[in-house]
Structure 1
Amino acid sequence: MEQNVSAALHKGNEVAVIVFSIHNLAILKREMDSAASQRLWEQVREAFHTVIREEIPSDQIAAVRAYYQDGIALFLKIDHKMDTVPNIDFTIQLILEKLQTKVWRSLQQSVQPIFCTGYIFIDRQIDQLRDAIYLAYQQALSMAQKGLTSEFNEMSFALGKIVANKDISLLAQPILDVETNKVKACEMLTRGPVGTSLENPLQLFSVARQTNHLYDLEMVVLEKALEQIKLTTWKFDIFINFTPLTLGNQHFVKDLKKLMNKYKEISPNRITIEVTERDSIEGLEYFISNLKLLRLIGFRVAIDDTGAGYASLNSISEIMPDIIKIDRSVIQNIDKNSVKESMLKGLLLIAKEVGSIVVAEGIESAEEALVLSRNKVDLAQGYFYARPTSLSNNLQTIV
């Protein structure tokens, strides 16, 4: 296991430790003898392995390990340039639904197991990989058993402290006009406290979600972004990411207006609200109405990660975004894959119908950039043009 995890980390991936635990295990044990309890655990473990084989591509799995009857851990390889926290949540939910169905079918007892999940990323800063793996497992288990362990309380406290002290930093990645190579905007990217495991944005936002600090954290990101625009007198557009969970919060528009009043010199028409599209918008009562209000105020709306995650085309038809951002999974190696270029052309046709500007994300080579140029994509961002850096008017001439 350690060898596979080590190989994944050395290739530049993150490794998420996802723990599936039986929430009502104590109740189940009271209803059965030790032999029956052991059979239940074996059935759960067998069902879990079956679901993993059926639902998760093998090249995404670093390892699977059962830790006695506490929980089963899936070590999932995460490409931090492509995968997002909502995508991990989607994977967990998929496994959970399949697992629940398989276990229910195989058991005849009156009380059925109820699964709970938690996840955390392995901390690269811990010298001994075995220690890092064990710590990540314990933390993920505590996330699954929310509120029942000191580890969960400590992580919740850490997030609360970050929010209270606004202890985050922002980097800016330029967005360029494909035809002229001139900078047109920047996307703000969040980092947690320097030198901690929460500096990693995937770790930061995953813990924030699981400890119910996500909304407050995203509002801190917004305030920090406005603060940097004011300090640097940045004159171009700024893209700021928000999850649908935050955008669908009934207090969001009021809280946003309050912040904008604090920075009156910044016009809303310079801010693009970027919806992380891999989150589902179903069931969010205020989501669409909040977006309408944001547009009336002057903000523009972009859909992020188009081409990956939840039903992209349905989201586009509901949101009718001003900007469509095409996910890196579509762009990566597009110069070598005619199907991907056909997907790009299809998304460009949809954007034209909707009246949306198109931004291609994750450009890493001149060959990929050439495909964008010949298909007349509007804007692009990625390491080929510029890496994330501090917001500064010098970014206007970075390319």
Structure 2
Amino acid sequence: MNKVLLVDDEIYILKALERLLRRAGYQVLTAENAELALQILATTPCQVVISDYRMPDMNGSALLKQINKQYPQLVCMILSGYADFNAVIDLLNAGVAFRFLQKPWDDTQLLIEVEHAFHRYKSKRAEHIRTQFLISSPEPLLEVCDRGLVLRSNSAAQQILQLSAAELMGASLAQLFPDLCQDKAERFLASEQALLVVTRKARDYEFVMQKADQEAKLIKLQLLDELPPLVDSTVNLPLVLNQTELIQEIDNLLYSEDIFAVVSLQLRDFNLMADIIGIQEAENVFETVADALLKSVAGHGRLAYLANEQFVIVFPNITSESAVHQKILDVLHHIDGRQLVRGKMIQLGFTVAYAMAPEDGRAGKAILNNVLLTSRLNSKGRLDFFMRYSASLTANRKQHLQMSEALYHAIERDEFTLVFQPKWDVATQRITGAEVLLRWFNPNFGNISPAVFIPIAEQDGQIVELGNWVLKRSFQYLAAWQRQGLPVLPLAINMSVLQLQKPDFIANTLQALHQHGIVPSLVQLEVTETAVMENLDNSTQQLAALRHAGFSLAIDDFGTGYSSLAYLTRLPVDTLKVDRSLIIDLDGNLSTQTMLQNIIRMAHDLQQKVVVEGVETAEQLHILAQLGCDQAQGFLLSKPLNESDYLELLSVNASDH
């Protein structure tokens, strides 16, 4: 819902404006001074702020400047007498204030200006979202307008197109991709079509609509036919079709209206193999594989080579999926999966994907694109799994984009809630605090698991905003419990590595703590082992600064990442949280018990506590107590609880002791 914050030290003005805006359908918050306004904004998302200019302590100019610094997407307006107009000109020119509203106001005109302010907010918000995509995404992205002109690009797009940001800015898609006429480009941008294949300098690119709004669209580029220098320069495959010939072959079969199959075989980990055995030897292995594939399909189909060690086979006259599977098995049978090279045994593996025509496409490019999409989605799948293209794959891709878009608006739509999973002292059975967990309910998608939306947020750039919201909301809970005289135990809050890398993260977090009257010792910040190891030196410095500020620190998901534990001696952390995957067979596996005992001993030697997650049986808890584990959490002890249930459990646990 559209929210307006009104700030004025004259109560009768606040009441009059509140009545006017509520009747117009806005949700209205009021503050009688600047300090109260900042407190409201720290806990409640708003889109528009209307402030008086003349106020005691902090005037409207100082307030709006601070709001603009902390919440740059908010749209602020000054409401004051005309005598103050000259004083606010600098605010208007600097973009700090969007409009000057004159007292006394005309109701109709004021509502028009407020409506314009919300349009401005949506525009700024959309631009912020696109900017986050451009900054955070490793994929090549072009931001274009409805007419197909490039507005901005990220470095990955500049690299893949071999053009600078200046060269791309203002260029049309039709200029960049000559086979894409202006009309076709505009139809693609205006439609909900998810994919489009275009050509530039004899290379095919896949367009994927990453994000679309009224002002601009983000298009992701996927290069489909880039040949590795290794293969391009040395491998001679005269009897193998290239991409253009392959598409023509598929189109010819489609014209005959026969049922046939298109199969992708991509050799896995070729670059790693080249690193192990050397480039020349890897070339020899590749040529051996290509020769074996040629012999295996002779008389049964046509073989093509595209790029990145990806072969495609067209099998005509295939009437069933079981027949396709048998053909694939026959082909793979001709390839010796184990190669002895320079005394090293190399294991070859293929990612296999296929499509049935004409059911899975009505044009050569479309079928090939569908097979390549399926191959990418199956790139980490089992070697013995042959994935067929399904329209649902494209639907899932579209759903990912829709969910990503919904994430950007979920905070202002109050779709997130927090729950608390208690942590228990293993020896005393007392609650020592809780881990804060994020939950999301979206009207279109329903309840969405964090295992689904957190990776999307990390990939598409929303994770920093989500993380900051969780911190501030947690501080709000702690402050409320303190005011009510309730038990206040530390909260453990998950922190993204992207948050940790922000230079102003520590200062902003401390400021938020101060606003809520919370001491840092009531907060434990958790960061995953993998995230820390992405940049160990930088992480060590940031964690040291956080610990110096008074926060407790924990390594989350310990045991899922790195086999070398030497890095622990460098990290200024207080707690290791052992991942649940390490204790699944704790009660029946002596090796697991020994491993966990060594982890606990090592942590205690480093003056660190150990928390074990995912405790589900009494026997697991008993063994953890014997091993000297400090704390535990899991469904045996308590599931994640809402605020009231958590406070009730704290009360019961305190009375039992």
Range class of TM-score, shorter chain: 0.5 to 0.7
Q: Does 1:25 align with 2:224?
A: yes
2:394 pairs with 127, 138, 162, which one?
Answer: 138
Please say if 1:199 is aligned against 2:448: yes
Q: CA deviation at 1:199?
A: 2.5
Q: Is the 8 A contact 2:262 2:371 kept in 1?
A: no
Q: Does 1:244 align with 2:509?
A: no
Cα offsets for 1:53-90 (capped at 9, x unmatched): 99xxxxxxxx98556334126889xxxxxxxxxxxxxx
State the distance in 2 between where 1:310 and 1:246 align. 22
Name which of 581, 591, 594 aligns with 1:329: 581
Q: CA deviation at 1:363?
A: 0.5
1:212 aligns with 2:461: yes
TM-score scaled to structure 1, two decimals? 0.67
Residues 66 and 368 of structure 1, relative CA distance in 2, 3 Å threshold: farther
Residues paired across the two proteins, number:
307
1:344 paired residue among 596, 602, 618:
596
In 2, Cα distance between equivalents of 1:318 and 1:211: 31
Tell me by how many angstroms 1:203 deviates.
Answer: 1.4
Paired letter, 1:138 = T
Change (3 A) 1:373 1:42: same
* 1:229 counterpart residue number: 478
CA distance in 1 between counterparts of 2:376 and 2:590 reads: 34
Q: Equivalent residue for 1:169?
A: 417
Partner of 2:507: 254
SS at match of 1:279: helix
2:388 is the alignment partner of 1:154: no
The residue type paired with residue 460 of structure 2 is T
- 3-state SS of the aligned residue for 1:275? strand
| Per-residue CA distance 1:203-233 (angstroms, 9 max, x = gap) | 1212212221111111111112112222334
1:294 pairs with 2:529: no
Unaligned 5+ residue runs, structure 1?
1-20, 55-62, 77-91, 100-132, 143-150
- SS in structure 2 opposite 1:155? helix
**Structure 2 unpaired stretches of 5+:** 1-205, 207-220, 228-240, 251-260, 269-308, 311-327, 339-350, 356-369, 384-389
The alpha-carbon deviation at position 139 of structure 1 amounts to 5.4
User: Does the CA-based 8 Å contact 1:170-1:189 persist in structure 2?
Assistant: yes
How far does residue 237 in structure 1 lie from its aligned partner after superposition? 1.0
Counterpart in the other structure of 2:628: 376
Match of 2:434 in 1: 186
Aligned AA for 2:514? N
Q: CA deviation at 1:43?
A: 3.3
Q: Quote the Cα distance in structure 2 between the aligned partners of 1:199 and 1:153.
A: 15
Task: Determine if contact 2:493/2:523 at 8 Å carries over to the other structure.
Answer: yes
Deviation sequence 1:349-399 (CA, Å, 0-9, x none): 211121001111110000101101111211111111111101342222566
Partner SS state of residue 533, structure 2? coil
Structure 1 residue 261 displacement after superposition = 2.3
Q: 1:387 aligns with which of 624, 639, 647?
A: 639
Paired AA for residue 264 in structure 2: E
- Which residue of the other structure, out of 256, 260, 264, is the alignment partner of 1:42? 264
8 Å contact from structure 1 (residues 386, 398) kept in 2: no
3-state SS of paired residue (1:382): coil
- The question of whether the paired residues in 2 share the 8 Å contact of 1:45 and 1:66 is answered with no
Question: Which structure would you say has the larger RCO, counting Cα contacts within 8 Å and 6 or more residues apart?
Answer: 1
CA contact (8 A) 1:303 1:316 kept: no
Residues 139 and 324 of structure 1: CA distance in aligned 2, closer, same or farther (over 3 Å)? farther
In 2 relative to 1, CA 33–75 (structure 1 residues): closer, same or farther, beyond 3 Å?
closer
Cα distance change of structure 1 residues 372 and 242 upon mapping to structure 2, 3 Å threshold: same
Q: Is the 8 A contact 2:436 2:494 kept in 1?
A: yes
In structure 2, the CA distance between the partners of 1:318 and 1:33, relative to structure 1 (3 Å rule), is farther
For the Cα contact (< 8 Å) 1:173–1:187, is it kept in 2? yes
- Alpha-carbon separation, structure 2, partners of 1:284 and 1:343: 25
**Percent of residue pairs identical:** 24
Q: Aligned residue for 1:102? A: none
Aligned to 2:615: 363
1:34 corresponds to which letter in structure 2?
L
How much has 1:330 moved relative to structure 2? Answer: 1.4
Tell whether the 8 Å contact from 2:611 to 2:630 is kept in structure 1 after alignment.
yes
Q: Is the 8 A contact 1:305 1:325 kept in 2?
A: yes
Counterpart Cα distance in 1 of 2:544 and 2:558: 20
Give yes or no for contact 2:436–2:491 (8 Å, CA) kept in 1.
yes
Whether contact under 8 Å (1:363, 1:384) holds in the other structure is yes
Distance 2:264 2:465 in 1: 41
- Secondary structure of 1:346's aligned partner: helix
Quickly say closer, same or farther: Cα 1:32–1:260, change in 2 above 3 A.
same
CA contact (8 A) 2:266 2:352 kept: no
Does the 8 Å contact 1:363/1:369 carry over to 2?
Answer: yes
Aligned to 1:69: 371
C-alpha distance in 2 between matches for 1:389 and 1:316: 32
CA contact (8 A) 1:175 1:184 kept: yes
